[in-house]
Structures are given as structure tokens and as C-alpha cells.
Structure 1
Amino acid sequence: MSDELKEFLDRVHNGITTFDFEGNETPCIELEEKRYDEILSKVAGQPLSINTDLNILQDGLGNTFVEVKLTFSTGNITETFLVNAKTHLAFFKSLAKTSMLALTSPKSNFGKDKVFMIQLPRPEKAQDALEIIQNALIPKNK
């Protein structure tokens, strides 16, 4: 295993999942309780937009990681999560399908409370990213 691959694996965010929200599998990122509460306290009750960038990192051998970067227009908040696309492909499939992303805390009750929903303004970006991710997961050097 290369040093770069090991570094990526060490940085991967563990709180990546999906859950059923109104009949749709919805991608979800779990934050530490304290950080989740900090974010909500800064943005609650305020109009805001959240820029969502998906930076795809690949090595040509089927190892693909995606840096999910959320930049909030209010509260001076930027959060970056590294996701292993190989082990969390369902996360990206549901992101492309629903154009929604949920932030939760460990104490949340998925789909009921303590869930912060983000609507992606440009659904085609998530669909394009999924296509790139799926192509990148296929090893090129056989």
C-alpha cells in the first residue's frame, strides 16, 4: 500500500451513511455532537445557502476518494469530509438521486429529529460526480 493511499484511508470520515427519508434513501454525514450543535447555533433561524463541492481524488488503480466540502453562507463555517467512494458508493448514488444531503449527530433519530437537510442547488453536479466516481472505481491497470 502506498503512503498516499494510507494517508487517505487514515483521513476518511467514519460517519458516512444513508437512511430512509420519506421513501428515499438519503445520504447522511454524522458529525460529533458538539460540532453539530455549534453549526446549528450559528445558522438557526437565518437565511443561508450551502455550497457543496465534490472533489474527486483517484489513483487509476480503483482507489477513489471524494472530498465533500460544505461552505455555509452564514456563520463562517466550512466543513470538509473525506469519503472512500469504494466503500460508500451507495452514499453517492443516493446523493445523485435525491439531490439532498443530511447532517446529523450521534444522538439523532434519522428522519425525525436532529437532522439538518441540505438541498443541492445543482442536481446535475452530483449526477456528473457519480459517473466520474463509478468510472474511477474500475481499475485501469489490469
Structure 2
Amino acid sequence: MPKRNFNTLEEFKANLHKEGATLVEFSGGKVPCILVSPKKYEELLGKVYGKKMSADTLLDIFYDGQDVFVDVNIKFAGADFDGNFLLYANDMIEFFDALAESGLIALAPSETTFTNSQNVFMIQLPKKDAAERALAIIKANARKKTK
């Protein structure tokens, strides 16, 4: 899971995760969910199904006092599968609040024909406090742009 570096705002915007993200209901709470293409989702399931594995999750935060981007890196040990999902945190405070609260992150296929409770892959964060620190950084640095 290589660390990615971006030098300009245009590079950040060009590398944003295109499938999107949402919140899903789980056990009476909200869990942040990153949407991926159905093909990538099926590839993930094929590599992890029936295997003992762990997921290492890293939140790489980039901010300049106005714009906050979070590169969510997930690597599945023993499954030869990883993903980088660059998100614009200014518009996703509730997403990161749910991440800090639940200590869970989910992956699901992006197409609505695939979306149901059976097609959500949950990952427990190894360190919930990292999500809490990330949320504090996001709240302190994300500024809504005036129109």
C-alpha cells in the first residue's frame, strides 16, 4: 500500500475516488461505506472468501487550512488486495464522524442493482483512535467555501 503524494490542488481533484461514499445503517448506528465498482467488489470477495485475513487501514490526511483530503488506504494481508480511496473531507464530515464513532468502514458495490445488506463488506479499524484524531484534524481545517 504505497503512500501517494499530490503536489497541487488539481492533482488532488484528478485523483478523487469517483464511485463515491455513503453511510449505511448497521446495528442501530451509521457506518461509513466506500463504494467501488462491481468488478472491484467481486475481485475483493474472490480473494478474501474463506480465508483468514486482516485489513490494515491507514488514513493519510492532507490539508491546507481550507481544503482537507483523506486518502483511505486499505490493504488486506493474505489476500493480495489493496485499495486507495482519496476523499474530499470538507463535504464528508458526517462520514468521518461515523468512522470515529463506529470504528468500522465498509466497502460495497457502487451500482444500485448490487446494493443490499448482503453486499456490504465490513472492516473493523485496528485503531479507532486514529479515526478520532483524523476527525479532529478534519473539523479544525475544513472550511466551507462561500459561494
Of the three residues 109, 120, 132, the one matched with 1:127 is 132
Aligned to 1:98: 102
Letter in 2 for 1:79: G
Task: Tell me which amino acid in the other structure corresponds to 1:8.
Answer: F
Cα root mean square deviation, aligned:
1.5
Percent identical across equivalent pairs?
Answer: 37
Superposition TM-score, scaled by structure 2 size: 0.86
Is residue 2:76 matched to residue 1:69?
no
Say whether residues 1:38 and 2:43 are aligned partners: yes
| CA displacement 1:71-113 (0-9 Å, x = unmatched) | 110221110000000011111000000001110012121xx21
Match of 1:136 among 124, 127, 141: 141
Of 108, 116, 126, which aligns to 2:121?
116
Cα offset, 1:138, TM superposition = 4.4
TM-score by length of 1: 0.89
Gaps of 5+ in 1: none
Find runs of 4+ consecutive structure 1 residues off by over 2 angstroms: none
Q: Count the aligned residue pairs.
A: 134
Partners of 2:90 and 2:143 within 8 A in 1: no
Consecutive unaligned residues of structure 2, counting only runs of 5 or more, are 1-6
Amino acid at match of 2:9: L
Which whole-Å CA distance do the structure 2 matches of 1:19 and 1:122 have between them?
Answer: 21
